[in-house]
Structure 1
Amino acid sequence: MTEPVRRGRVILLNGASSSGKSSIGRALLPLLADPWFFVPVDALGALRSTEHTRVLTDAEIAEMLRKTRLGYHRAVAALASVGNDVIMDYPLSERWRLRDLLDVLDGYDVTLVHVHCSPDELVRRERARGDRPVGLATSQVSIFDHADHDIAVDTTTTSPEGCAKSIADALPTLTATKAFNRLRIAAC
Structure 2
Amino acid sequence: MKKGHIIWLNGVSSAGKSSLTQELQKILPVPYFCIGQDTFTDIIAPCVSGYFNGIDGDSLWYMAVDAMYHTIKAYSDMGLNVIVDHVVLNQDDGKEQNLFNSCRDTLKNYPITSVKVICSLEELKRREVNRGDRDIGNAEWQVKQGLYPLDGYDVVVDTNEMSLQECAENICKTIK
Matched, 1:73 2:30: no
- Secondary structure (helix, strand or coil) at the match of 1:161 reads helix
Asked whether the equivalents of residues 35 and 68 of structure 2 are also in contact (C-alpha less than 8 Å), the reply is no
Give distance in 1, aligned partners of 2:134 and 2:57. 16
Give distance in 1, aligned partners of 2:118 and 2:50. 34
Q: Identity rate of aligned residues, in percent?
A: 31
AA aligned opposite 2:135: P
Matched with 1:12 is: 8
TM-score by length of 1: 0.79
Deviation at 1:161, TM superposition (A): 2.2
Structure 1 residues 135 and 96: alpha-carbon distance in aligned structure 2, compared to 1, 3 A threshold: farther
- Secondary structure (helix, strand or coil) at the match of 2:83 reads strand
Of 51, 54, 77, the residue aligned with 1:57 is 51
The aligned runs of 1:19-38 (5 Å cut-off) are: 19-38=15-34
Structure with greater Cα Rg = 1
Deviation at 1:119, TM superposition (A): 0.8
Matched with 1:164 is: 168
Unaligned runs of 5+ in 1: 175-188
User: Would you say how many aligned residue pairs link Structure 1 and Structure 2?
Assistant: 166
Deviation at 1:117, TM superposition (A): 0.2
Deviation at 1:49, TM superposition (A): 4.2
Deviation at 1:141, TM superposition (A): 2.1
Give distance in 1, aligned partners of 2:51 and 2:174. 45
Deviation at 1:156, TM superposition (A): 1.0
Of 58, 81, 84, the residue aligned with 1:85 is 81
TM-score by length of 2: 0.84
- Secondary structure (helix, strand or coil) at the match of 2:84 reads strand
Give distance in 2, aligned partners of 1:124 and 1:10. 30
Q: Which runs of 4+ in 1 moved over 6 A?
A: none
Deviation at 1:86, TM superposition (A): 0.6
Of 116, 119, 122, the residue aligned with 1:117 is 119
Give distance in 2, aligned partners of 1:160 and 1:101. 28
Give distance in 2, aligned partners of 1:67 and 1:30. 31
Matched, 1:153 2:147: no
Higher-helix-fraction structure:
1
- Per-residue CA deviation, residues 11-65 of structure 1 (Å, 9 max, x unaligned), is 1000111100010011001211221111111122334444x7x443397111111
Unaligned runs of 5+ in 2: 90-95
Give distance in 1, aligned partners of 2:36 and 2:5. 15
